[in-house]
């Protein structure tokens, strides 16, 4: 492992570019962590987010230190004869593909169950039992670790394709995780305080799950389409929230109580 020459401007460009991409690739991770940590008591939510993101950072650094093994994971371990590739050869499935498919299925099932849960019980478990029922910290951290593993492979393979120096990759991962740790609480509170944004976030995770499964079967779909669609939906929802707030203010100002005060 060679220490980078920070006197070289190209090293800084590579570091900043990779750090930015790592933050973008970590958005789906933060959204998932926000949703699952919301099922904990409020006093434990911050701890779950911090533990989850710290484990993600450690896991990615470990993967970077084992790049040779990671590259081996991209070699096919078996083929599916009835699914031909563009070249006409049978589809080869590697360990990386298996991890992506399993992770995509997990996100698909988990997000669908969350949507069903919110639609069936808008008030959560408290609406049915009269008191709040929470997940355990251990179960939430296990779920975060599983998703961290899947997203880490995506992140590390992107890093390998962009930068040659392992130390630059590690520094970029640490920087991106520090940024995510700083803003994860604010993002989590914002998502969890707005039910419509929770649904949008869950729909985003379903789309990411489908994308991971497709990628596992070597169907290349640009993530730009998913991110563009979710960004557009988010902007529309933020405008709707502003419109609802303005409507509520007008109704309040026109109420008999306010008119009496004036």
Q: What is the pLDDT of residues 166-214, one digit of tens each?
A: 787 788 888 888 888 888 788 777 777 777 777 887 888 888 888 888 8
The pLDDT tens digits of the residues spanning 137-155 come to: 778 888 877 777 777 776 6
Residues 170 and 244 in one domain: no
Residues 35 and 163 in one domain: yes
What residues make up the domain containing 173? Answer: 9-77+91-221
> How much is the pLDDT for 148?
75
- pLDDT exceeds cutoff 60 at 131: no
Residues 135 and 229 in one domain: no
Residues 68 and 97 in one domain: yes
pTM for the predicted model, two decimal places: 0.67
Number of domains in the chain: 2
Residue 82 lies in a domain: no
Residue 163's Cα: distance from chain center in Å? 23
Residues 215 and 233 in one domain: no
3-state secondary structure the chain: CCCCCCCCHHHHHHHHHHHHHHHHHCHHHHHHHHHHHCCCCHHHHHHHHHHHHHHHHHHHHHHHCCHHHHHHCCCEEEEEEEEECCCCCEEEEEHHHHHHHHHHHHHHHHHHHHHHHHHHCCCCHHHHHCCCCCCCHHHHHHHHHHHHHHHHHHHHHHHHHHCCCHHHHHHHHHHHHHHHHHHHHHHHHHHHCCHHHHHHHHHHHHHHHHHHHHHHCCCCCCHHHHHHHHHHHHHHHHHHHHHHHHHHHHHHHCCHHHHHHC
């Amino acid at each position: 492992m060679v220490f980078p020459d920070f006197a070289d401007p190209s090293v800084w460009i590579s570091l900043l570019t990779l750090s930015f991409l790592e933050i973008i690739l970590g958005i789906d991770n933060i959204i998932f962590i926000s949703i699952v940590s919301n099922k904990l008591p409020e006093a434990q939510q911050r701890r779950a987010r911090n533990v989850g993101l710290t484990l993600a950072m450690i896991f990615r650094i470990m993967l970077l230190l084992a790049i040779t093994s990671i590259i081996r994971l991209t070699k096919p371990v078996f083929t599916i004869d009835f699914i031909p590739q563009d070249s006409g050869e049978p589809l080869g499935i590697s360990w990386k593909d298996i991890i992506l498919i399993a992770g995509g299925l997990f996100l698909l099932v988990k997000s669908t169950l969350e949507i069903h849960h919110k639609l069936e019980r808008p008030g959560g478990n408290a609406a049915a039992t009269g008191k709040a029922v929470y997940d355990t910290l251990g179960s939430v951290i296990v779920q975060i670790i599983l998703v961290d593993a899947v997203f880490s492979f995506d992140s590390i393979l992107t890093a390998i394709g962009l930068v040659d120096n392992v130390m630059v990759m590690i520094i970029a991962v640490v920087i991106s995780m520090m940024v995510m740790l700083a803003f994860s609480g604010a993002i989590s509170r914002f998502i969890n305080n707005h039910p419509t944004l929770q649904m949008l976030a869950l729909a985003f995770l379903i789309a990411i799950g489908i994308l991971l499964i497709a990628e596992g079967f070597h169907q290349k779909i640009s993530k730009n389409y998913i991110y563009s669609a979710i960004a557009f939906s988010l902007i529309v929802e933020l405008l709707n929230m502003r419109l609802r707030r303005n409507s509520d203010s007008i109704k309040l100002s026109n109420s008999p109580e306010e008119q009496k005060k004036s």
